[in-house]
């Protein structure tokens, strides 16, 4: 007879989660590092009781449910998807607060398990507090909002349903081609119900991650495409780093001479000073990468979604004969741009291709190698120019990035997500490895930065975590500073105060508008518009009021001193900077933001004419 153990559904869930392991290349570890959660009537007596009774599965208390999912996603990303967190909420606003961050996790292909509480499965006491009633049916709750942003979604209406639901959830979470946010809704009455669960359900489970190699025939076709190419280019995405393929990529480039442009997620795939690293590519890319991309006749996209920033809205590749090879664990991503699909692990595939090409003695032509090196040298000089003090004495964002880049070590990490900083960092940051540069740019979610930095801090044992955040993002979600203090997880926050949404203000003006609605200004009582004095927000005092430390830096010298103080400090500290707007230009690239076809504003009319010419370069694949 099958042995059973009587537990509540919530107790069984915790016991199951504690038994999940993951294995890659012979190394295994516990998959879940614990559970984030704010308790309410939808989970306090179920999941909350189970966690308290268990005492081993660590609970972490955030200040906001969206922030905790950001932190969980950042933790998984920094751990290269080999570790994850669980997030629990009550019903209602706690659950819907997770939607934004769940979308980010799914878009960025990183695992996080969401366990929102739900209304009564038995229904007889409904509507309960925070319950959404819908005339279309009684099985609809606010948790249905999580369906489109989840890779797997389920609702548990009977205790025994977890026996089939949670193993499927684990399959998705640990599959590199499927992973993202996974949501399992837990009605509050079902959480507390007891059931005789089979003991085998709680035995240790090891989820093995294979290194798949593409079909041999497709590999041969890829070899032929590479051999026929005169100006091949690699785009290195986040999949290179998740696969641990950095050394394999370097070996491939060194043996073939093919250069590499990096996406935001792939930055650090090669050391910045590698002689084949063109660095950032696309709308926020370098002059070197984008000039090479324009003439490339073959693009080898490795572990990338090929977003519009990477492809410059499909205008970056102007060679009419350009062809694509897609190397990706996901067929959905591998086939983009009508690519030859090599569905497989980045490291294993690169090693196989390198072996096959070495037998063919393939290498790019000398004149192409010389062009690559010339463009890289020119970019390094341009980057040095931007890092240098301006002639008028103003402290600019580009120089600030250079100072921070020089100050950080290879064991430190920088975290960012939105505003003008990601564009400048993608171009300028000299990443030494894939762990040093952490950018959330799939969703580019304002408010991610501090919460994401906290997740990175949980994932790192060595080095400091530097969070770069604009004042607009800071005001959206800064209270996880309190969590960093509670958990003794030190962050160094670089807070750039430009009195509003400076990035979009600049974009608006570049499109012929005037920056409407982007500055933190008071409403003018006469005009009724937000054109009055700037709001006087003391960010230093705000940070201090939360229990952390903060200083204001107005010059490059003060910034350098503040960085040293923050390094020596034992707890979270913010450095508040008022900088001139970013003056780092774009390089040989474009981003499609449609402009009003009809307008009374002459500046918009002119911008529309220019737009209509540029959009003609977009390709359809």
User: What pLDDT does 306 receive?
Assistant: 96
Residue 289 shares a structural domain with residue 399: no
Q: Is 90 exceeded by the pLDDT of residue 168? A: yes
Tokens of 459: 């994932």
Is the bond leading into 39 cis (omega within 30 degrees of zero)?
A: no
Whose tokens are 């948790």? That residue is 143
Predicted model pTM:
0.96
**3-state helix vs strand vs coil in the chain, percent to 5:** 40, 20, 40
User: What pLDDT does 228 receive?
Assistant: 96
Determine, yes or no, domain membership for 404.
yes
Cα separation values, 512 from 426, 498, 499, 603, 607, Å: 25, 21, 21, 5, 6
Residue 70 and residue 105: Cα distance in Å, rounded?
8
User: What pLDDT does 499 receive?
Assistant: 79
Q: Which residues contact 126 (CB under 8 A, 6 or more apart)?
A: 119, 120, 133, 138
User: What pLDDT does 133 receive?
Assistant: 86
Q: Which residues contact 472 (CB under 8 A, 6 or more apart)?
A: 419, 446, 500, 501, 502, 520
Q: Is 80 exceeded by the pLDDT of residue 509? A: no
Residue 71 and residue 589: Cα distance in Å, rounded?
33
Determine, yes or no, domain membership for 609.
no
Residue 483 shares a structural domain with residue 446: yes
Q: What is the average per-residue pLDDT within 349-361?
A: 94
Residue 553 shares a structural domain with residue 469: yes
Q: Is 80 exceeded by the pLDDT of residue 260? A: yes
pLDDT range class, residue 1, cuts 50, 70, 90 = confident
Residue 261 shares a structural domain with residue 325: yes
CATH number at residue 476: 3.40.50.970
Residue 448 and residue 442: Cα distance in Å, rounded?
12
Residue 66 shares a structural domain with residue 85: yes
Residue 151 shares a structural domain with residue 221: no
Whether the Cβ atoms of residue 109 and residue 238 lie closer than 8 Å to each other? yes
User: What pLDDT does 294 receive?
Assistant: 97
Query: Parallel, antiparallel, or unpaired for β 465-470 and 437-439?
Result: unpaired
Residue 16 shares a structural domain with residue 54: yes
Q: Is 70 exceeded by the pLDDT of residue 520? A: yes
User: What pLDDT does 297 receive?
Assistant: 97
Q: Is 90 exceeded by the pLDDT of residue 513? A: no
pLDDT tens-digit series, residues 381-418: 999 999 999 888 889 999 999 999 999 999 999 999 99
Residue 47 shares a structural domain with residue 110: yes
User: What pLDDT does 506 receive?
Assistant: 79
Residue 221 shares a structural domain with residue 203: no
DSSP conformation letters of 308-366: TTTTTTTTS---TT-EEEEEES-HHHHTGGG-EEEES-HHHHHHHHHHHHHHHT----H
The three state secondary structure string of 93-117 is HHHHCCHHHHHHHHHCCCCEEEEEE
Query: Parallel, antiparallel, or unpaired for β 194-198 and 4-8?
Result: antiparallel
Q: Is 90 exceeded by the pLDDT of residue 581? A: no
Determine, yes or no, domain membership for 521.
no
Whether the Cβ atoms of residue 184 and residue 165 lie closer than 8 Å to each other? yes
Note down the domain range covering 17. Answer: 4-208
Q: What is the average per-residue pLDDT within 78-82?
A: 98
User: What pLDDT does 511 receive?
Assistant: 79
Final residue of a domain: which of 161, 189, 208? 208
Residue 368 shares a structural domain with residue 426: no
Whether the Cβ atoms of residue 448 and residue 440 lie closer than 8 Å to each other? yes
Is 390 strand, coil or helix?
coil
Q: Is 90 exceeded by the pLDDT of residue 502? A: no
Largest CA-CA distance found in the chain, in angstroms, rounded = 83
User: What pLDDT does 341 receive?
Assistant: 98
Question: What's the mean pLDDT when you consider all of the chain?
Answer: 95
**Nearest CA to 43 among 172, 241, 253, 190?**
190
Determine, yes or no, domain membership for 602.
no
pLDDT tens-digit series, residues 91-131: 999 999 999 999 999 999 999 999 999 999 998 888 888 88
Q: Is 70 exceeded by the pLDDT of residue 152? A: yes
| Number of domains the chain contains | 3
* Residue 511 DSSP symbol: T
User: What pLDDT does 621 receive?
Assistant: 64
The percentage of residues in the chain with a pLDDT greater than 70, rounded to a whole number, is: 100
Q: What is the average per-residue pLDDT within 262-276?
A: 97
Determine, yes or no, domain membership for 127.
yes
Final residue of a domain: which of 337, 357, 379? 379
Alpha helices in 480-599, H assignment, sequence order:
480-486, 502-510, 539-545, 556-568
pLDDT range class, residue 150, cuts 50, 70, 90 = very high
Residue 34 shares a structural domain with residue 56: yes
CATH number at residue 273: 3.40.50.1220
User: In terms of pLDDT, which residue wins out, 203 or 578?
Assistant: 203
Residue 222 shares a structural domain with residue 204: no
pLDDT tens-digit series, residues 17-66: 999 999 999 999 999 999 999 999 999 999 999 999 999 999 999 999 99
């Amino acid at each position: 007879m099958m042995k059973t153990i009587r537990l509540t559904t919530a107790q069984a869930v915790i016991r199951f989660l504690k038994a999940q392991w993951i294995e890659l290349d012979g190394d295994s570890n516990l998959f879940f590092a614990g559970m984030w959660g704010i308790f309410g009537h939808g989970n306090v007596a179920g999941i909350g009781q189970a966690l308290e009774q268990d005492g081993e599965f660590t609970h972490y208390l955030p200040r906001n449910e969206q922030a905790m999912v950001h932190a969980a996603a950042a933790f998984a990303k920094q751990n290269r998807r080999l570790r994850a967190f669980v997030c629990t909420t009550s019903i209602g606003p706690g659950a819907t607060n997770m939607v934004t961050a769940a979308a980010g996790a799914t878009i960025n292909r990183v695992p996080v398990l969401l366990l929102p509480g739900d209304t009564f499965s038995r229904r007889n006491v409904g509507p309960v507090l925070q319950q959404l009633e819908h005339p279309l049916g009684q099985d609809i709750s606010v948790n249905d909002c999580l369906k489109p942003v989840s890779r797997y979604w389920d609702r548990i209406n009977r205790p025994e349903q977890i026996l089939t639901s949670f193993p499927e959830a684990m399959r998705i979470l640990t599959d590199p081609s499927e992973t993202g946010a996974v949501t399992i809704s837990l009605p509050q009455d079902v959480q507390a119900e007891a059931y005789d669960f089979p003991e085998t359900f709680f035995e240790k489970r090891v989820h093995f991650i294979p290194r798949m190699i593409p079909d041999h025939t497709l590999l041969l076709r890829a070899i032929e495409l590479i051999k026929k190419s005169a100006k091949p280019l690699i785009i290195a995405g986040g999949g290179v780093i998740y696969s641990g393929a950095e050394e394999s990529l370097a070996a491939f480039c060194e043996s073939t001479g093919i250069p590499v442009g990096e996406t935001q997620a792939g930055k650090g795939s090669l050391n910045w000073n590698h002689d084949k690293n063109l660095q950032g590519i696309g709308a926020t890319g370098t002059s070197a990468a984008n000039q090479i991309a324009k003439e490339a006749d073959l693009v080898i996209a490795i572990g990338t979604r090929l977003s519009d920033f990477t492809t410059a809205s499909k205008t970056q590749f102007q060679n009419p004969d350009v062809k694509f090879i897609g190397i990706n664990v996901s067929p959905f991503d591998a086939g983009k741009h009508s690519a030859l699909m090599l569905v497989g692990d980045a490291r294993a595939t690169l090693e196989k291709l390198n072996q096959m090409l070495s037998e063919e003695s393939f290498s790019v032509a000398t004149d192409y190698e010389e062009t690559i090196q010339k463009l890289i040298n020119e970019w390094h000089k341009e980057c040095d120019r931007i890092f240098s003090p301006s002639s008028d004495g103003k402290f600019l964002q580009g120089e600030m990035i250079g100072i921070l880049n020089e100050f950080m070590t290879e064991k430190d990490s920088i975290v960012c997500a939105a505003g003008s900083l990601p564009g400048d960092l993608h171009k300028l940051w000299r990443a030494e490895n894939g762990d040093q540069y952490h950018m959330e740019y799939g969703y580019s979610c304002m408010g991610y930065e501090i919460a994401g930095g906290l997740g990175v801090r949980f994932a790192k044992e060595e080095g400091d975590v530097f969070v770069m955040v604009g004042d607009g993002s800071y005001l959206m979600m800064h209270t996880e500073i309190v969590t960093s203090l509670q958990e003794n997880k030190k962050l160094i926050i670089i807070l750039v105060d430009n009195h509003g949404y400076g990035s979009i203000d600049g974009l608006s003006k570049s499109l012929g508008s005037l920056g409407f609605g982007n500055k933190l200004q008071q409403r003018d009582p006469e005009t009724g518009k937000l054109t009055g004095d700037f709001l006087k927000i003391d960010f230093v005092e705000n940070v201090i009021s939360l229990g952390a430390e903060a200083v204001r830096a107005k010059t490059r010298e003060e910034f350098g001193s503040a960085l040293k103080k923050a390094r020596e400090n034992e707890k979270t500290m913010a450095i508040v900077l008022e900088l001139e707007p970013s003056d780092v230009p774009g390089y040989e690239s474009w981003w499609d933001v449609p402009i009003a076809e009809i307008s009374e504003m002459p500046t918009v009319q002119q911008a529309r004419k220019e737009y209509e010419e540029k959009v003609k370069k977009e390709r359809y694949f």
